[in-house]
A and B are shown apart, each in its own frame.
Chain A
Amino acid sequence: MTLFLENARIIDPEAGTETIGNVILDGGLIAAIGAATAPKGARVIDCGGKCLAPGIVDIGVKIGEPGERHRESFRSAGLAAAAGGVTTIIARPDTNPAIDTPEVLEFVTRRAAEAPVRIHHISALTKGREGREMVEIGFMLDAGAVAFSDVDHVVTDTKVLGRALTYARSLGALVIGHPQDPGLSKGAAVTSGKFASLLGLPGVHPMAERIGLDRDLGMVEMTGVRYHADQITCARALPPLERAKRNGLDVTAGVSIHHLTLNDLDVGDYRSFFKLTPPLRPEEDRLAVVEAVASGLIDIICSMHTPQDEESKRLPFEEAASGAVALETFLPAAMRLYHAGAMDLPGLFRAMALNPAKRLGLPQGRMAEGAPADLVLFDPDAPFMLDRSKLQSKSKNTPFDGQRMEGRVIATFVAGKQVFAMGETQNA
């Protein structure tokens, strides 16, 4: 079916422009931008001057399959993604068992067909994410893995890591690291400092991230592997990142939307929904990282969607599980950066759609004729109060519960088909 999206504020992250116009979707692709009239037989959707942007490509989404389907299934994650304007999920391998063999990868690929959005998978880098033996990197690539990562399990044995990275480089594979010194960060629940001391919680110094990044960059220099740092969240990790890029290493970096919009004080009175890995940082770090995203030093914004059930969060803070759901709140939260004047909309979608797609070699993330028709229509100014019980995710552990948000997804399209519609705009 051909779709004619008229009167849209078209966000082009590549050109860095916003223009009012019409877009034609046909055959799963963006057929034309700027056409004056609807083709014959096309379904016409009046965008009412709202924003139309490439759908979000989210690197690092935890889905509970296999092993924790009660927390999130491909179906529930897919619905949450569609409602949040995420059209491509890059799923994490920190499942149970880990995604570390072609057989498990085939299983999740099959299961992922339940979701209304596109899903690609990251393979574990080492078997069982145990940091001892590398996975069958070649077979995993053949089975469709888009990257390799042990997620938050840092491979401490640099000999093992060096070999895995060397092998990955020979196949052109992308490796995603978690820059964190495991010694310093062991047992930490929050970032160290005045607030951690006041709450009596074990903290980790942000230096743990810098040391982790320094080590990883050394390994990248040694092996020449393509490397992406999953989350850079503090100011002191920025200079080594900048230096590595300047020296021509094939390095990119991401940051979660939570670290861009919340700080360590949000933990407040031991609110475990704000317990994240790495922990939320002081405001100075948050501001530095926002600036780094705006300048392009940090390339990618991700959700780090991590569903946790109520039982694992209703515990004393130290014992509570880490992580937050974020697929559905990703776009509204990102609008905080827009409204604060920190970033414009093309810039945001460069970090949320174009850059992650480019890094993974996917054709998504572009507002161009011939690009996949994966789009999100949203109103950046629509206010609402977030009610976590209404989230599509099976798990409701969002730090934004009860908060005022601005920015709502009106419709989401994947391969030219509408997969989400909000309220009255449905079938408009």
Chain B
Amino acid sequence: MSFRARHLLGIQHLAPDEIKAVLDLADKYVDLNRRSIKKSDALAGMTQINMFFENSTRTQASFELAGKRLGADVMNMSVAQSSVKKGETLIDTALTLNAMHPDLLVVRHGASGAVNLLAEKVNCAVLNAGDGRHEHPTQALLDALTIRRAKGRIQRLTVAICGDVAHSRVARSNLILLGKMENRVRLVAPPTLMPAGVAEFGCELFDDMRKGLEGADVVMMLRLQKERMDGGFIPSEREYYHRYGLDAEKLSHAKPDAIVMHPGPMNRGVEIDGEIADDINRSVIQEQVEMGVAVRMACMDLLARNLRAERGAKAAGVMV
């Protein structure tokens, strides 16, 4: 078994064979999810707690469904409105939960590195569901699965990641994953939304979207946060759409069979034209949502296997 990680904190910590192991298992869960009886007992008897310090309906639902289909007992803690408001620290919240013996802890937090910090303090497997502008590993894995199923491979592709790269954990996890799998990664963004030093990661940088899309196999759009639209980073929403919104004309510069992706939720008419988003011949946005559940099932299954092995070894008195 090639998946060795104890937690899933970021793509940064995964080796290519571990990424492949997740995708291979996720393919099987895609099949399961398409059956009328979508049930496995991979996580039977295990407790999964979803802890979202930032609200996210979609990701939380996806993790919840994934856990339930694998037979785990799933609890959602909406920490955004609870004890954190009363001044409890992240670590205290983690320790409190840890005392309840969860097996899988799914965490989203607004601060980069917060999930890493939490993982140091608990005994269970921790899955990062997005931390600040750092990483969102399951999103990158589900994107990789979507690409692999659409293109037949996840190597030697030209992928253009477009939009607010600077504030995007999705972009970060994706560019790390795509780099590890030996793809050509292009970042397309206005210079104010391009993070410093990313050229050193081996990405090609473009502020002209047409040039950036030239010959691309995959066009990955990013969400532009509302609060960043006015004046601060870009002059206006309409100028952004004009220069960086994906429409049919800009897409025509990519390969004729290029696929269009978006992590959702979309701002139609801001970063993506509604018609492109709904074009079943180009857009794989709905597939991404489907792959999301399967990938999260695969990640939790693999982490649970490692957790069981670790506990078994501990019970047998073996050092791991």
Interface residues of A, Cβ cutoff 8 Å to B: 192-201, 203, 205, 269-270, 311, 314-319
Contacts and interface: CB of A to CB of B under 8 A. Distances in A.
B56 interface: no
A314 B91 CA distance: 8
B265 interface: no
Contacts of B90: 315-316
A318 to B, nearest CB: 5
A311 B92 CA distance: 11
A400 to B, nearest CB: 20
B164 interface: no
A196 B169 contact: no
Interface in B232-283: none
A70 B195 CA distance: 39
A203 B135 contact: no
Contact of B116 (A194, A198, A205, A269): A269
B131 A200 contact: yes
B166 to A, nearest CB: 8
A127 B133 CA distance: 38
B113 interface: yes
Contact of B201 (A194, A200, A269, A319): A194
A196 B201 CA distance: 12
Contacts of A200: 112-113, 131-135, 169, 172
B197 A317 contact: no
Given A198-B172, A269-B116, A316 B196 contact: no
A314 B196 CA distance: 27
Given A200-B132, A315-B90, A192 B113 contact: no
Given A200-B169, A315-B90, A192 B196 contact: yes
29 contacts: A194-B197, A194-B201, A196-B195, A196-B196, A197-B197, A197-B198, A198-B12, A198-B172, A198-B201, A200-B112, A200-B132, A200-B133, A200-B135, A200-B169, A200-B172, A269-B113, A269-B116, A270-B112, A314-B117, A315-B90, A315-B117, A316-B90, A316-B113, A316-B117, A316-B132, A317-B111, A317-B113, A318-B112, A318-B113
Nearest to A194: B197
A194 B113 CA distance: 16
Nearest to A205: B196
**Could you say which of A197, A270, A315, A316 has the most chain B C-beta atoms within 10 Å of its C-beta?**
A316
B31 interface: no
Contacts of A192: 196-197
A268 B260 CA distance: 35
Nearest to A195: B197
Given A192-B196, A197-B197, A318 B111 contact: yes
B96 interface: no
Given A200-B135, A270-B112, 20 more contacts: A192-B196, A193-B196, A195-B197, A196-B197, A197-B196, A197-B201, A198-B201, A199-B113, A200-B134, A200-B169, A200-B172, A201-B113, A203-B196, A269-B116, A270-B113, A316-B114, A316-B132, A317-B113, A318-B111, A318-B112
B109 interface: yes
B41 to A, nearest CB: 35
A198 to B, nearest CB: 7
Interface in B176-200: 195-198, 200
Contacts of A318: 111-113, 132
Most chain B CB within 10 A, of A192, A198, A200, A311, is at A200
Nearest to A267: B113
B93 interface: no
A194 B91 contact: no
B107 to A, nearest CB: 11
From DSSP, what is the main secondary structure of chain B's interface residues?
Answer: mixed
Contacts of A319: 111
Contacts of B132: 200-201, 316, 318
Nearest to B111: A316
Contacts of A194: 196-198, 200-201
Contacts of A316: 90, 109, 111-114, 117, 132
Nearest to A191: B196
Nearest to B121: A314
Interface in B1-43: 12
Contact of B89 (A201, A270, A314, A317): A314
Contacts of B172: 197-198, 200
Nearest to B198: A197
Nearest to B165: A197
Contacts of B111: 316-319
A318 B111 CA distance: 7
Contact of B195 (A197, A270, A311, A317): A197
Nearest to B133: A200
Q: Which of B89, B113, B132, B169 has the most CB of A within 10 A?
A: B113
A316 B172 CA distance: 19
A198 B197 CA distance: 9
Given A199-B112, A315-B89, A318-B111, A270 B117 contact: yes
Interface string B66-86: 000000000000000000000
The 5 closest A-B pairs by CB, nearest first: A194-B197, A200-B134, A270-B113, A316-B111, A200-B133
Contacts of B114: 316
B116 A270 contact: yes
Nearest to A193: B197
Contacts of B112: 199-201, 270, 316-318
A259 to B, nearest CB: 20
